[in-house]
Amino acid sequence: MLFNSYEFIFVYLPITLLGYYLTAKFIKNEAAKIFLIFASVCFYSYWDINNLPILLASIAVNYAFGRCLTNNRSKKVLMVGIAFNLLFLGYFKYTNFILENINYLFNAGIAMKNIVLPLGISFFTFTQTAYLVDVYRGETKAYSKSDYLLFVTIFPHLIAGPILYHRDMIPQFSQAERYKINYKNLTYGILWFTIGLFKKVVIADKLAIYADRVFNSTADLTMLDAWGGSLAYTLQLYFDFSGYSEMAIGLGCLFNYTLPLNFNLPYRATSIIDFWRRWHMTLSAFLKNYLYIPLGGNRTGHHLRNIMITMFLGGLWHGAGWTFIFWGVLHGIYICINHLWRKTKYTLPQWMNWLLTFNAVNIAWIFFRAASFNDALNILMAMFDVNRFAYPYSKFLAKYFSVFGNKDGTLIITDNLLMLIGFVVLSVLVLKKEIIEKFNVYLTATIIAAVLFYTVLKLSSVTTFLYFQF
């Protein structure tokens, strides 16, 4: 079940909302919590019920380790718990990747395993690993079974984040006001959900048409096609993932829960360091607090090494492939260069900082998206080959962005043009949470009604979110 589907919007969500608040009103808050757990489990099982035992096993084992660490803050227990999570994630996500490389290096001929990657495994594994570390550090204690279950399974974040932290989320479950209808939160929730849905359906899915055509056919691209394809994917990934994250935030608001902001205008960053403070912020926080700092952070003389290890593992977390690893390493190199540049005390104009940062990020995304290094190199060579500026004839660009189609030559407002208009509106008007919260309630209602109506009309073809594969 996808957030951008009729069955979710018109069936699952209304039933879950009504059930949650009615259970709290006529029975008790604890029962409403149990109902939301049940609804979240049903949401997850809708994808593939065979994945449910995997999720529940992970929760049961991590909860048990949390209990043990509460009673005995043993480093050995912590290490066993972390090892379990890493092996758990590694088996499902990296077994075939490892076997492929063994076969390549040693011509071993080992058959690939028939392993289906459970949805959301990277997110709920990281969420629980952070919990175990914090219990060991004495920053929290073991929670009740229902609180812990809801923390891990709450459906807005379960499949693709944002990564939740127990210290921010679980205390909300015991607050009585979370179980009473709050019309302000309902308004903000619908607004956030609508913005995210619009980003996904109207912008990201339209950009995907062009990006997919370029990345699926990388031979003999023109310079314009190559740049157009790379920029299309750069924007598609942002609008797709930030759209999901904002839909998750909106869904949390509907149930009176506050989920963390995951993006803060990352493509306005004026350095790579600044970019990672704005992009997928919950993952950045995890990598910093639970990997970079434990490695020594910048307190030792090896902070550049620690950066490279962190980004290498960050790339590996995203996918079992060398292109993902290279993407992570490339960003590690970027960050190291950024730190070394700061030591020179030499400054560039802000527009130049932005231009360099955006293009560095755009180039790195090519390896993130490409099916192989060869495809990535094909696109890069086309981007910087002036001899291919307009020859051979552009395969995709003219057709994709054409707004003239009638025989009489009249202007047609295509979905692609609407997508571009939407991009401008969202980039200029809808910037931050603080701005959204200052909207006049009547203006908000009007915007919600108009945008939601238009977006729902575009749900004829439902597509998955890009981060589901991670």
In a domain, 456, yes or no: yes
Same structural domain, 145 and 190: no
Which residue in 104, 100, 397, 91 sits closest to 232, CA to CA? 397
Give the pLDDT of residue 6.
87
Same structural domain, 53 and 95: yes
Per-10-residue mean pLDDT of the chain, 470 residues long, equals: 86 96 96 96 90 94 94 92 94 93 90 87 92 91 90 91 88 94 89 88 85 89 89 92 93 95 92 96 93 86 91 92 96 96 90 96 96 95 78 56 42 53 52 52 64 69 72
Same structural domain, 347 and 444: yes
Tell me the catalytic residues: 318
In a domain, 290, yes or no: yes
Same structural domain, 153 and 288: no
In a domain, 125, yes or no: yes
Same structural domain, 222 and 287: yes
In a domain, 1, yes or no: no
Structural domain boundaries, residue 153? 6-180
Same structural domain, 176 and 223: no
Same structural domain, 250 and 132: no
In a domain, 207, yes or no: yes
Same structural domain, 435 and 297: yes
Number of domains making up the chain: 2
Give the pLDDT of residue 446.
66
Same structural domain, 173 and 41: yes
- Contacts of residue 258, defined as CB under 8 A and 6 or more positions apart, other chains included, come to 168, 172, 252
Same structural domain, 139 and 217: no
In a domain, 40, yes or no: yes
- Looking at residue 340, its amino acid is L
The total number of residues shown for the chain amounts to: 470
Same structural domain, 267 and 322: yes
Domain finish residue from 180, 211, 240: 180
In a domain, 234, yes or no: yes
Domain finish residue from 127, 149, 180: 180
In a domain, 160, yes or no: yes
Domain finish residue from 150, 180, 210: 180
Q: Answer whether 0.85 is exceeded by the pTM.
A: yes
Same structural domain, 29 and 94: yes
